[in-house]
Amino acid sequence: MKQLSTSILLALGLLIVPVVAAQVTVTGTVTETATSQPFPGVQVIIKGTLEGTVTDSEGMYSLSDVAVGSTLEFRFVGYRTQEVLVSEGTNEINVQLSESILEIDEFVVVGSRRLPRLVKDSAVPVDVFGPRDLASQTSSDIDEILRTQIPSYNVQRHGIDDEATLVRPITLRGLSPDNVVVLVNGKRRHRSASMALLGSSLNTGSQGADINMIPSIALKQVEVLRDGAAAQYGADAVAGVFNMQLRDNNQGVHVRLQGGMYSGGDDLVPNGINASNGLLSKHDYSATGRNFLAAANVGLPLTDRGFLNLSLEYRDADPTIRSGLRRDESALIQRGYPVNNPAQVWGSPDVSNSFVGFVNAGIDVGNNAHIYAFGGYGNRESEGGFYFRSPGTSSARAAVFRSGSVRAVADLNESDDIVCSEHVPSLDADFAAVNAFISQYKGQCFLFNELFPGGFTPRFGANIYDLSVTTGIRGGADDGLRWDLSFSMGNSDIDYFIYNTVNASLGPDTPTSFKPRGYEQQEFTISASGSYPIGVSAFATPLNIAFGLEWHTEEFTTEGGDPDSWANGKYGSQGFSVGSNGYQGLNPKFAGSWDRPNVALYLDLETDVTTRLTLGVASRYENYYNDFGSTLTGKVAALYRATGSLRFRGTASTGFRAPTPGQANLWALQTALSGEGDQLVETGQLPPTHPISAALGGQELTEETAFSLTLGTIVDLSSNLTLTLDYFDISLQDRISLTGNIAITEEIRDIIVQQALLGGASTTLREIKFFSNDFDTRTRGIDLLLAYDRESDSGNATQASLAWNWTMTTLEDFSQPRDISTFLGQSLSTPFTLSLLTPRRQLETEDLNPKHRIVLMGRHIRGAVSGMVRLNYYDGWYACRNNSNSCVNSTGSLLDEFDSAVIVDAEVGYRFLEDYRVSLGVDNLFDTYPDSHQDETGSQGNIRPESTPWDYNGRAYVLRLVADLF
């Protein structure tokens, strides 16, 4: 390793022989300026190196072998860094630390297993966000907070996408949510039980962590590692790692109250079609998304050797309505149908009774050990709308209001003296004619217009519960040995509900509300880790050897729905749809529980080869002993300090991701827009090994593998201005993703019905999808950050940053469409063309997210007054209209390009009575919206695209009161 690194440096011409200087031992005491009390836990670092120590409980420190002429840095979270020159004859340096106005923490722990280090001394790109960054938002959701500050981070706003509306998937560096690991205090957090089956292509089928179950008030800082790290943190850490650091103060009460709402805009956009198609007046945008938040953080001493930190958050958010007038809605109103206004609801979901509590505690035991525990519990109810079920016209909901090209009617007449289908009004009949038929043939013939005269729009939601607990003990010895033993468990439980809908096969006896299914994700982890520095004469610092053993298991469980949600009633044979319409219940015989245990061993080596060069090597062995077998990943990282203000860094790593038990075994029957039009159809999500999936090309899933490369530089342009620039290149093989919706033929559906592979649910099934390892991708990008911060002794402070990201993903290899002539052992009269990766999926994989993102932020604090302005630039993006699989129809292309946009956020604040602060914030100050989507407005009711990279609700206001008590 030494020989290799030396040859590389010589080739680059960068190796400079250091000059040996006199060395001394420096001791001293650090105190807190405001109280003059000893300050424990302060980092004392020799500037430009990773060498240093930490003050003890009395605020004292001792540091040997300090070169005369070097500078000592004294740092602590939330305090201003002090720098002191070590001169000839200096043996004692005492300093006082004052609180930082900007609350910037330049130390990070993610990405390395050595002692915490400065961001600028990290061999991997890391972003750090402190309390002010987390609080200066109209939203308290962590996903929204990070979206406005990290250009390479994306979270789509979904209007109607089932689970993706309730638990929003996040993406980093152009990869799926499954490629991101979330840590809390350095320990892996469990996944959510939710899978985004109808999300956009990057998100479709993903099962990541629900970071909104962590209250923002509980966080001291968020560290975002933008680098492949599977060799350090295990499977999934391909795009990067989020490390949520919890507050650990042992005193004080921090309270936050805020209320907000949207301005209700969108009034500049014509919502409807032209007059020839029946333009009516605009809808009333009364649902402005009023929201309220109450949160508190309390720090308490746990004897004189520990702390207990408690955080509570309550949130409630009303829905928004951003809907336009559908063509069929206009026609129905003209024919007298009592259609709701609006019939189709697009907007943010209703979030109610959202409560999250978190605790973080620790206590010293003995001289060298520390017991810790942290965890949280949360629950929320979230609810959104589905597609409108039209009660008439040619767009009437099939198998409920329509049968083929005629109105669907259930024959209740057992004597058969009346043939209902001969008397039923046409689909174009007005409401009076339909009502007359209902009155005349009541008890003999049944139309669902009797239950829902104006049609219906199902309401879909879930009660979401989340529990996590981690406890452990860590310690060390005077010789540098550090060790950590821990146990973690996490549980995500989701109970779905749907109402304002029917099980059409039950006819007039159908209920209108159902509990269709429940999902549970449970994980357990036992970990033992340690590190030990070994002195190596050839190296400038000891070689840090980190090692660990980890056992982890996860289990995914599905719970069957109530009987009416999946039953095939007696009218199913008459062509009516089976199960709760919109989100069919899960038959208990298809429910189950699937687990996957694995054990991991890892080794991590890191040292300063010279005072200029830091090298790190990591390797991890994982064994999935009940299915995938074993895998070995590795990583090499380097940081070279060319001068005191110029650094170069780079990494190369391999990674992998195993499919989750849920992805490998999930059954779900849903209603979605047809991939070849704007009709609602039943879609089946099946395990890839199910006989139907296998007949369509499905097979047992394998792991996804990755190779990642990053190269970057860090330049200190001045003492207050820093530039970082990083390039990344990630190749993924055998990506795990859902196929496109495969539209099956009548012949194939008949075979499925004959073999009873899905029970009665198969009679109205139109499309199939399943997980596969069907394609490879290459993702490249550049991250640039220019950061400035300055504090004055007079109490003023300025902070500014410019962040830019460019990310591009290309499909490298995928299966081509092919014809199949047999299905489930039976010959097909007409060959069926099978395409697993549809043009729509290809487009969304490469072009759904903006390729360029820019975040420009400025913050100034002057005495009691503060102000912040932030600009977010989003490059243009593409989407296929009307959910089309092919992105074309008989009239031409259905590919839409959406323009770039700049979103401006602002906040002003005022501090009074020393401990109170009031602020007014505005997101999207100029009320900017994505381009209108009038063709989809006419067919589906959405004015904006189905998913957007920023909030489509328009301008938002928030009034916030913050108090620091006691």
Q: For position 271, what pLDDT does the model report? A: 36
3-state secondary structure of 747: helix
The letter for the amino acid at 827 is S
Domain contains 716? yes
Residues 138 and 77 both lie in one domain: no
Same domain, yes or no, for 483 and 627?
Answer: yes
494 and 641 in a single domain? The answer is yes
Q: Has residue 571 been placed in a domain?
A: no
Q: What is the pTM of this model?
A: 0.88
**Residue 234 and residue 354 in one domain:** yes
Asked which of 64, 99, 134 is the last residue of a domain, the reply is 99
d(CA 751, CA 749): 5
- Would you tell me how many other CB atoms lie within 10 Å of the CB of residue 439? 9
Do 917 and 910 meet the contact criterion of CB atoms below 8 Å apart?
Answer: yes
Convert 793-802 to b/e letters by CB count within 10 Å (16 or more is b): eeeebbbbbb
Domain ranges, residue 912: 121-340+345-386+459-499+517-560+592-666+686-965
**Residue 931 domain-assigned?**
yes
What token pair was written down for 544?
């840090």
Question: What are the backbone dihedrals phi and psi of residue 684, each rounded to the nearest 5 degrees, phi first?
Answer: -105, 125
Given a contact cutoff of 8 angstroms between Cβ atoms, the answer to whether 827 and 842 are in contact is: no
Residue 15 lies in a domain: no
- Residues 11-58: tens digit of each pLDDT: 434 333 444 457 889 999 999 887 888 888 788 988 877 678 888 878
Burial class of residue 580 in the structure, from the number of CB atoms within 10 Å of its CB (0-12 exposed, 13-18 middle, 19+ buried): buried
Phi, psi dihedrals of residue 545, rounded to the nearest 5°? -110, 115
| Number of domains present in the structure of the chain | 2
Q: What CA–CA distances, in Å, run from 534 to 123, 480, 542, 545?
A: 21, 9, 5, 7
Strand partners, 708: 653, 730
What is the pLDDT, as a whole number, of residue 168? 79
Which residue, of 65, 99, 133, is where some domain finishes?
99
User: How many helices and strands (H and E) does the chain possess?
Assistant: 13, 55
Residue 248 lies in a domain: yes
Radius of gyration of the chain (CA): 30
Per-residue CA distances from 143 to 216, 713, 826, 907 (Å): 10, 28, 49, 19
Q: What does 92-134 look like in DSSP terms, one character per residue? A: B--EEE-B-SS----EE-TT-SSS-EEGGG-SS-EEEE-HHHH
Give residue 210's Cα distance to chain centre.
7
Query: Does residue 220 share a domain with residue 74?
Result: no
Burial (Cβ within 10 Å: 0-12, 13-18, ≥19) of residue 662: buried
Q: Please indicate, yes or no, whether residues 95 and 126 belong to a single structural domain of this protein.
A: no
The answer to whether residues 218 and 363 belong to one domain is: yes
Please report which helix (H) or strand (E) contains residue 665, including its range. Answer: helix 661-665
Give the end of a domain, one of 99, 130, 155: 99
Q: Are residues 91 and 167 in the same domain?
A: no
Does residue 566 sit within a domain?
no
DSSP string, 477-543: -TTS-EEEEEEEEEEEEEEEEEES---GGGGGG--SEE--EEEEEEEEEEEEEEEEEE--TTSSS-E
CA-nearest of 521, 596, 549, 616 to 234 is 549
Residues 50 and 162 both lie in one domain:
no
414 in any annotated domain: no
What DSSP state is assigned to residue 577?
Answer: P
pLDDT at res. 328: 87
Domain annotation covers residue 227: yes
Give the burial string for 215-241 (b: 16+ CB within 10 Å, else e). bbbbbbbbbbbbbbbbbbbbbbbbbbb
Co-location of 87 and 219 in the same domain: no
User: How wide is the angle at C-alpha 243 spanned by C-alphas 242 and 244, nearest 5°?
Assistant: 115
- Sheet of 742-743, strand order: 668-673, 680-685, 765-769, 742-743
Residue 296 sits in a domain of what CATH number? 2.40.170.20
| Sign of the torsion angle spanned by Cα atoms 111, 117, 123, 125 | positive
SS3 label, residue 938? helix
CB within 8 Å of 375: residues ≥ 6 apart: 358, 359, 467, 468, 469, 470
Which segments in the chain show pLDDT lower than 70? 1-21, 50, 102-107, 115-117, 136-138, 140, 158-162, 199-202, 264-287, 673-678, 759-763, 882-883, 889-890, 892, 933-934, 937-938
If you average pLDDT over every residue of the chain, what do you get? 87
Phi then psi dihedrals of residue 374, to 5 deg: -155, 160
Identify whether residues 826 and 772 lie together within a single domain: yes
Q: What is the CATH number of the domain that holds 44?
A: 2.60.40.1120
Same-domain status, 60 and 188: no
768: number of Cβ within 10 Å: 24
Q: For 364-421, how does the pLDDT look when each residue is reduced to its tens digit (9 = 90+)?
A: 998 889 999 999 999 999 998 888 999 998 888 889 999 989 999 999 987 778 899 9
CA–CA–CA angle 243, 247, 252 (5° rounding): 170
